[in-house]
Amino acid sequence: MANQQIRLKHSDAVADGTMAFHFHKPAGFTFKPGQAVDLVLTDPANPQDEGLRHAFSIVSAPFEDELVFATRMRDSAYKRILRALPAGATAAVDGPFGSLTLHKDRARPAVFIAGGIGITPFMSIVRQAARDRLPQQLLLLYSNRRPEDAAFLDELQTLEKQYDNFHLAATMTEMDKSNRQWQGETALLDATFIQRACLALTAPIYYLAGPPGMVTAMRQTLNGLGVDDDDIRSEDFYGY
Ligand SMILES: Cc1cc2nc3c(=O)[nH]c(=O)nc-3n(C[C@H](O)[C@H](O)[C@H](O)COP(=O)(O)OP(=O)(O)OC[C@H]3O[C@@H](n4cnc5c(N)ncnc54)[C@H](O)[C@@H]3O)c2cc1C
């Protein structure tokens, strides 16, 4: 699919150092929850150039009328342009692409493992599943340092209350650095944590997303627990 122009509606902070960008969804733009696009930005300093592009998983679900992306706002050339983008400004999307989409065998649960910004594709999947009342067990293991760093945590906790098939196991691994209360897990998302969280599940399929180092480590941990690579799907957020 060729580049399609999109217009920024607004942007907002969704966690410390993390922002979400809400764009109008082009008419006829379709995608599967979990997929990604390239977001192409024009460099104001070189407007004639082809622009800078980054891949982003789509946070919003297909039933929603906007395209939302979320990212860690580091001091890179691309993120400086993105941060300065005013409401109403245009960008382009190239896509969708990617195979981090939910398997069809509803009898097999899905276990999503997200570290920090790796939450983005799973937001789309869980929102759509909740909307469709999907008859499938979904478990999200979500690791962050502090609640302040955990994008979409409140929404996920609400979704867990509203949608019986969705369960959230969130863990905060550096609470000594937090100014917030947290009654939940604080353990590292390691083999013991995964075994304990997945105890009641039969033959789940695992989904991993986040920085490549985290994804590789998680895949090795799952292999160590006897999970075959056929039952693991992953998305490496190259660039982190
Ligand atoms: C399918 C997919 C989905 C993604 N979804 C998200 C998302 O939802 N949210 C999010 O924040 N990020 C996502 N990313 C990562 C995103 O594209 C950026 O790479 C990341 O946000 C870092 O951008 P930056 O501007 O901070 O760093 P940059 O300055 O652009 O990159 C930092 C370093 O990484 C290197 N690098 C960049 N891209 C690649 C690459 N493809 N392969 C190898 N090295 C590379 C650069 O050379 C540089 O040295 C995704 C990546 C992929 C492939």
Tokens of 52: 């800078």
Matching residue, tokens 């905060």: 172
Measured in angstroms, how far is the CA atom of residue 54 from the centroid of ligand 1? 6
Whether residue 208 is contained in a domain is answered as yes
Q: How many domains does the chain have?
A: 2
Range of the domain at 134: 110-234
pLDDT in tens, 98-129: 999 999 999 999 999 999 999 999 999 999 99
Of the candidates 102, 174, 104, 173, the residue with the CA atom closest to the CA atom of residue 139: 102
Last residue of a domain, one of 97, 129, 162: 97
Does residue 11 share a domain with residue 77? Answer: yes
Does residue 126 share a domain with residue 226? Answer: yes
78 lines ligand 1 (CB under 6 A): yes
Does residue 137 share a domain with residue 65? Answer: no
Does residue 141 share a domain with residue 209? Answer: yes
**pLDDT at position 47:** 82
**pLDDT at position 3:** 82
Q: The whole model's pTM is what?
A: 0.95
CA distances from 58 to 43, 91, 100, 205, 235 (A): 22, 15, 11, 21, 13
Last residue of a domain, one of 42, 69, 97: 97
Whether residue 104 is contained in a domain is answered as no
Choice from 71, 83, 112, 119 to test ligand 1 binding pocket (greatest atom count within 8 A of CB): 71
Does residue 227 share a domain with residue 119? Answer: yes
Does residue 87 share a domain with residue 21? Answer: yes
pLDDT in tens, 47-94: 888 789 999 999 999 999 999 999 999 999 999 999 999 999 999 999
**Residue 82 C-beta-side C-alpha neighbours within 13 Å:** 26
